[in-house]
């Protein structure tokens, strides 16, 4: 969806909320301020905000000259777009990414094609998946984790992803270590190495938020 077409319908500031879908915002002009997880970001021209489902987010400000695109993705579609580790790399590592001029132009063209297809009377699902995948891969290619993440980071990021999903129901970190097929001690070691907090402390912070 082109941002200049929908920004008039988007109110700000919003209270914190927890969407059940993922949102990719690509800003080509103006800027947007938003809370993603525990941090506030300002996305200016040639940058993207990546908001995975079940994360706590809020819109703080939208500039009057805002242009770009918003891609809304249902969780069920992700298995067709990226591998599990690619998803961790693109969403869990850094929600705000700056794009070079060349990459920004490519992503904008792809998003324009995606918007045109969405407007058509009979959008082609395979085509839209392919173009969306190209957008995500291009963003990932130029991220700080383009060359992959370590096993320690994978465990820590996966734990955080699960904690957002299950924190209301599952209060024991043993549940998360079983889901990840690791010991409680190894889970805690990985989480502390990446986030400088224990698994229980990260879980508690998410619950409080």
Cα torsion 119, 120, 121, 126: sign: negative
Q: How far apart are CA 119 and CA 1, in angstroms?
A: 9
Angle of the 125-141 helix axis to the 101-119 helix axis, nearest 10:
170
Residue 90: pLDDT above 70?
no
Cβ contacts of 34 within 8 Å, gap of 6 or more: 25, 40, 41, 43, 49, 51, 57, 58, 59, 60
How buried is residue 110: exposed, middle or buried, by Cβ count under 10 Å (0-12/13-18/19+)? buried
Q: How far apart are CA 84 and CA 81, in angstroms?
A: 10
Residue 140: pLDDT above 90?
no
What burial letters (b/e) apply to 49-86, b meaning 16+ CB within 10 Å?
A: bbbbbbbbbebeebeeebbbbbbebeeebbeebbeeeb
Q: H helices within 36-100, ranges in order?
A: 84-87
pLDDT per position as a tens digit, 28-86: 999 999 999 888 999 999 999 988 888 889 999 999 999 999 999 988 887 788 777 77
Cβ contacts of 150 within 8 Å, gap of 6 or more: none
Residue 144: pLDDT above 80?
no
Residue 141: pLDDT above 90?
no
* 137 SS3 class: helix
Structure tokens given for 205: 């912070």
Q: Over the chain, what is the mean pLDDT?
A: 88
pLDDT per position as a tens digit, 2-31: 999 999 898 999 999 888 898 999 999 999
Question: Residue 75: which of 91, 41, 57, 52 has the closest Cα?
Answer: 52
| Total-model pTM | 0.81
Please, which residues bridge with residue 48 across strands? 26, 97
Residue 131: pLDDT above 80?
yes
């Amino acid at each position: 969806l082109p941002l200049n077409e929908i920004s008039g319908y988007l109110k700000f500031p919003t209270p914190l909320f927890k969407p059940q879908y993922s949102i990719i915002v690509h800003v080509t002009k103006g800027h947007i301020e938003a809370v993603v997880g525990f941090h506030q970001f300002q996305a200016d021209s040639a940058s993207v905000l990546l908001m995975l489902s079940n994360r706590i987010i809020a819109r703080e400000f939208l500039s009057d000259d805002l242009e770009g695109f918003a891609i809304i993705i249902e969780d069920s579609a992700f298995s067709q777009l990226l591998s599990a580790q690619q998803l961790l790399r693109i969403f869990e590592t850094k929600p705000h990414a700056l794009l070079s001029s060349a990459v920004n132009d490519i992503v904008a063209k792809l998003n324009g094609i995606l918007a045109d297809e969405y407007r058509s009377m009979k959008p082609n699902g395979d085509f839209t998946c392919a173009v969306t995948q190209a957008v995500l891969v291009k963003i990932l290619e130029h991220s700080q984790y383009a060359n992959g993440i370590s096993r320690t980071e994978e465990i820590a990021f996966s734990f955080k992803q699960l904690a957002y999903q299950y924190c209301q129901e599952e209060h024991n970190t043993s549940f998360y270590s079983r889901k990840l097929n690791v010991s409680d001690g190894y889970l805690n070691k990985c989480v502390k190495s990446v986030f400088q907090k224990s698994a229980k402390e990260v879980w508690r912070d998410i619950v409080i938020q």
